[in-house]
Structure 1
Amino acid sequence: MMKKISIVFLQAVIVLIGIVALVILIWTPLTEGRATNLDAFSIYSDPFIWYVYVASITFFIILYKAFKLLSYIGQHRVCSSSSIKILKSIKYCAIVLSILIAMAGVYIKLFHNLEDDPAGFLAICALSVFVSIVIAATANVFEMVVQHVIAMKAENEPAN
């Protein structure tokens, strides 16, 4: 019972993170420095904003896969090939996300308005890349553990 409550709680946290991220993606362009005097069409036609939206797809895939993995844990199916596929997907999405965030940071560093200070944005990029790499490494470790458990189960099952 307690395990089920914990899983539901973690799934709710994942949904909440997704909602907050979506609100930030919609709200931030409206309040960003160069967009304060622009209309909504001009703001959302900016190629960099579109890049951020496309890059964020990998973030939402990670959240979806984590939600799905938690449901497998709740169903006692964590030691399955489906879980390994989910963990691989999370790992690869986190790697892609870290690359996309680093590319956004490089773009802003090279092409920012000279009147703007990109230090805050670059710090957020660096932190986000670090978090993405930690997520990829964690998913990789869990993937290896699950593969090891599956291999141990296969060795210990009696041959028919």
Structure 2
Amino acid sequence: MDISDKQSILAMYKQVGTVEAVVCVGGTAPLDALTDDDFAFSLANKLMGQVNLVRYGVPYISQGGSVTLTSGTLAQHPVLGGAAVSTVNAGIEAFGRAAALELQGKIRVNVVSPGWGGRRSKRWDAAPPRAFGRRWSHRPTRNTLRKTSLGRWCQ
């Protein structure tokens, strides 16, 4: 399924029929050169793709079922060069809260904001120490790891 294509989303729902849950971890957002096209791509792909997954999924998700969308830590902790991704992630979080209110009693809408995976990006490594608004270390601290559900970074 192509998350940026409404017809692809509808075709997927029609093919699978009624479901109890939908989890979306799709969507990409280029970070390098923040052109108008980059913003448009990010908005159409990651943001509107997930919005449409909910909009078109309501008739296919059973009563009390759920949709889980994926935002990201850049909504709360932006980095230099990450304006497009931060904008999109914040939009997903706002949409998730609003959709959960509007769809209350029908389906549940959740948004998760996972941290960085096992591999760091070049952008992450190149970020100056104060890019996150505070001194930042790439190495996990024991306190941070204790707060994760598995007690470790994702892989």
TM-score normalised over the length of structure 2: 0.32
For the pair shown, the structure with the greater C-alpha radius of gyration is 1
TM-score normalised over the length of structure 1: 0.31
More helix by share: 1
